[in-house]
Amino acid sequence: MIKILIVEDEEAIANLIRMNLAKSGYQCEIASDGEEAADAISERPFDLILLDIMLPKLNGYEVLEYAKTVDVPVIFLTAMGETDQKVKGLKLGAEDYIAKPFEIAELLARVETVLRRYHKTERKIRILNIEIDTDSRTVRQDGREVDLTTKEFDLLLMFVRNKNRALYRETIYENVWGGEYSGTGRTVDLHVQRLKKKLGLEDHITAIYKVGYRFAV
Ligand code: CA
């Protein structure tokens, strides 16, 4: 699973970003000041860092120095109109910047682009006899296009990006459907059944008692 560190001292913004990235299947961690960010970067691997500049304790430029030592791409989150910050950030080695306030769709697009540039995520994912094109959102099996609904596609992508991991029904629901999982209802199960049937994945997607599902390859 792709791990993203969100470094942002404004809690509401950090939570909003995390919620939306989680929906797209990314695993997120929030650091609310520069020191916390530096510690997280030194201790755990991340695939991408979203980095605010004005932060308590250490500022974004200082945190960037830590990021450079572990070669992780950084997207700066800059306050609107602060052009100097953007220029400085890029000069210091950030991959990209995005001005606050931003549209979530724009943020997701930037994240995808930077991850792709770093080969963290690929446009085409091949697994078993299945080929998934994440741009056109099409799926081919043995070369033939398979017709999946939007939710089935999202579900497949989530399984593939988390192969061999147990996924809680709750996590699946929150990522694919958004919103809180009520703990009842068969939405997830019904969609998983249909996906398995359409792609003949009965042997690969298995139910885990009291947890959810695992896509094993
Ligand atoms: Ca800030």
Instruction: Compute, in angstroms, the gap from residue 82 CA to the centroid of ligand 1.
Output: 13
Question: Is residue 86 over pLDDT 90?
Answer: no
Instruction: Compute, in angstroms, the gap from residue 79 CA to the centroid of ligand 1.
Output: 8
Please give the DSSP secondary-structure letter assigned to residue 163. Answer: T
Question: Which pLDDT tens digit goes with each residue over 92-129?
Answer: 778 888 888 888 888 888 898 888 887 766 678 889 99
Neighbours of ion ligand 1 (CB under 5 A): 9, 52, 54
Return the CATH number of the domain spanning residue range 124-215. 1.10.10.10
Q: What is the pLDDT of residue 83?
A: 67
Burial of 178 (0-12, 13-18, 19+ CB in 10 A): exposed
Question: Which pLDDT tens digit goes with each residue over 8-53?
Answer: 999 999 999 999 888 777 889 999 999 999 999 999 999 999 999 9
Q: What is the pLDDT of residue 108?
A: 86
pLDDT top residue among 91 and 153: 153
Q: Tokens 């078993």, residue?
A: 128
Helix residue ranges per DSSP H, the chain: 11-23, 34-43, 60-69, 83-92, 104-117, 150-161, 169-176, 187-199
101 preceded by a cis bond (ω within 30 of 0): yes
Residues 6+ apart with CB under 8 A from 198: 146, 147, 148, 152
Q: What is the pLDDT of residue 192?
A: 97
- pTM for the full predicted model: 0.60
Instruction: Compute, in angstroms, the gap from residue 126 CA to the centroid of ligand 1.
Output: 40
Instruction: Compute, in angstroms, the gap from residue 113 CA to the centroid of ligand 1.
Output: 24
Band (65; pLDDT cuts 50, 70, 90)? very high
CATH fold label, 3-117 = Rossmann fold (3.40.50)
At 149, is the secondary structure helix, strand, or coil? coil
The domain spans of the chain are 3-117, 124-215
Question: Which pLDDT tens digit goes with each residue over 157-214?
Answer: 889 877 888 888 988 887 788 777 777 778 999 999 999 999 999 999 999 998 999 9
Q: What is the pLDDT of residue 14?
A: 95
pLDDT top residue among 139 and 167: 139
Instruction: Compute, in angstroms, the gap from residue 5 CA to the centroid of ligand 1.
Output: 15
